[in-house]
Structure 1
């Protein structure tokens, strides 16, 4: 990586008050440690099982207060320390979804109708290809469980809204949390009405990316850090971009501070970015080891994405080489020939996948992986494995 791209080390040295660069760190480890042993593989996957649902719950320990030197009375104007850093506020907790909208939610549907599930069960009983499915699932699991020497950051973005960006980010992070044993972090870098907390089933939001940027310090332990996060399951946490306010903003310097400080605690971080060409999204793409570009499986979506990929071919090779394109089918019957669209996009030299239409995802609420269609779970695992492999190639 060139010096120009190595903003992580520069910011980390600034956070530590100057001095020489820190020694290389390992992946996320136990509380208070910056290195860990490689993630050991979990049990072999059963292709008939879901990725594994994670029910959000309140962290077992209370959220820590801001460091004594950084505290200030409630409602005071932001103060500035010796280095000009803002003194953090202590926000209150807010529900992720307005309680008045609770009645608008219906019982979540299964991703595919019952006749389809029944037919697949019969087919699996009489088909000779089940062994191939198991072998492929095992290869995917092996790819996802590879150890990391430093935390991998995977940015998910799009060139327009409504492309399924937050949905794909939620599926990827949930897949990593299922297959890996090291900590996984979801970061919402799309604060303006972002939907990642809803997709992940978070019940309440308190500390945001901007808040944590004013608090995080290099000497903090994993236990200190997770007190500011929303715990989703034993090894997965969420850092929201906002508390749902309209017009919430996130500046790229706050994003840099957070990502540099948190990288050593988590084996994989999935970032739900703003749409391109927003400033934070551009910074996230520069700093991440892999990018997932989502686009709706429509003619205009494919055409726009193809134009962007052609432009990316003029950038350094690692940019398009580290990009995975995901075509999201948002209707039962696509209006384009997806196979031809995939071939066209792959001609630019990037990896392309299709996320098939899924009734459960289309409802837009919290994702329950036990209700996802089998094809959706398989596609999510393949996309996650592909992005992770690309992230391993860029150090």
Structure 2
């Protein structure tokens, strides 16, 4: 009998060789009961925890090559840098490969300030020595570290940052793509800026940040309008819109805002108000509320659905619930 007749041996994995142990809840009343009983009483996973574990599995899926994520908005002050930072932290914490967040804001961006506090070395320094960036060790000289996330700061001198154009952005990304699996670009608010052209041209995934307010929602919608008018209709259809709920009002129909973006893009993620993020200071995942972290886990899972090809079909609303 040939090897082909025998068939392929069963794959050895935890799912196939570990005896069933039951799902062990870690959160909510189910987790509390499980711990209090020493594991004797296991009510199983709730819907929210089961959904969260599914998202974590999606985030960890293999990624062939490099995936570039652009985070953008035509309006400042809606949480674009916060979204870039938290997305990077969640991806880095739940994956085993290399992830870098690049601040491409031409106006002295604050991404490195929010993540590492180190802006002594910037993308400008890397550009000045880019011909010698032949190894990960050389590239790491220009980055700082937030947990497992590498951060490349923007130029802090406004006079110098204006010179950061599309050609230079693409040169930087060409180097980063050799050593990092995921590149997250925190873009500036100027969509017509030369570097922004490069960001959109190279992006595999697009995140547009807005807010459930009159100005935040209208500007996010205008961002989509501009992108469609300039040939990025496909990217808009596959984009994920993040609504930062740091500012809310009962006078605004937030459901109507959400439905508007659900009809235009692939998915909508709502990030709840979080006192830690509202300070505008140093960002640490463990200081954020669980619901806030869950929102960024949902965002990361949606983006991971597009790793290695077209995004898979998913529900348009991703608003996690505690449980």
Same fold (TM over 0.5): yes
Stretch moving more, 368-377 or 298-307: 298-307
Change (3 A) 1:384 1:241: same
Query: Which of 215, 219, 222 is the aligned partner of 2:129?
Result: 215
Look up the match of 1:236: 149
Look up the match of 1:258: 172
Select the structure with the greater relative contact order (CA < 8 A; seq sep ≥ 6): 1
Higher share in helix:
2
TM-score by length of 2: 0.77
The answer on 1:338 being equivalent to 2:250 is: no
**Aligned-partner Cα distance in 2 for 1:47–1:317:** 42
**Aligned-partner Cα distance in 1 for 2:234–2:84:** 21
**Aligned-partner Cα distance in 2 for 1:45–1:143:** 19
Which SS does the other structure have where 1:352 is aligned? strand
Q: Which runs of 5+ in 2 are unaligned?
A: 1-12, 15-22, 35-42, 312-323
The answer on 1:372 being equivalent to 2:288 is: yes
Look up the match of 1:155: 70
**Aligned-partner Cα distance in 1 for 2:106–2:146:** 19
Q: Deviations over 1:107-131 (max 9, x none)?
A: xxxxxxxxxxxxxx55865797843
Change (3 A) 1:129 1:343: farther
Change (3 A) 1:364 1:316: closer
Change (3 A) 1:132 1:287: same
**Aligned-partner Cα distance in 1 for 2:26–2:197:** 36
Q: Please tell me whether the aligned partners of residues 289 and 394 of structure 1 are also in contact (alpha carbons under 8 angstroms).
A: no
Q: Cα distance, 1:287 vs. partner? A: 0.5
Look up the match of 1:165: 80
Which SS does the other structure have where 1:353 is aligned? strand
Query: Which of 285, 302, 305 is the aligned partner of 1:389?
Result: 305
The answer on 1:199 being equivalent to 2:117 is: no
Stretch moving more, 146-155 or 125-134: 125-134
Q: Cα distance, 1:309 vs. partner? A: 2.6
**Aligned-partner Cα distance in 1 for 2:117–2:226:** 40
Look up the match of 1:179: 94
Change (3 A) 1:217 1:155: same
The answer on 1:138 being equivalent to 2:53 is: yes
Q: Deviations over 1:74-104 (max 9, x none)?
A: xxxxxxxxxxxxxxxxxxxxxxxxxxxxxxx
Let me know the Cα RMSD of the aligned residues: 2.9
**Aligned-partner Cα distance in 1 for 2:26–2:221:** 33
**Aligned-partner Cα distance in 2 for 1:301–1:45:** 41
Stretch moving more, 204-213 or 161-170: 204-213
Query: Which of 121, 140, 149 is the aligned partner of 1:226?
Result: 140
Look up the match of 2:189: 275
Q: Cα distance, 1:297 vs. partner? A: 2.0
Aligned length: 279
Q: Please tell me whether the aligned partners of residues 165 and 272 of structure 1 are also in contact (alpha carbons under 8 angstroms).
A: yes
TM-score by length of 1: 0.64
**Aligned-partner Cα distance in 1 for 2:24–2:84:** 22
**Aligned-partner Cα distance in 2 for 1:45–1:297:** 36
Change (3 A) 1:219 1:312: closer
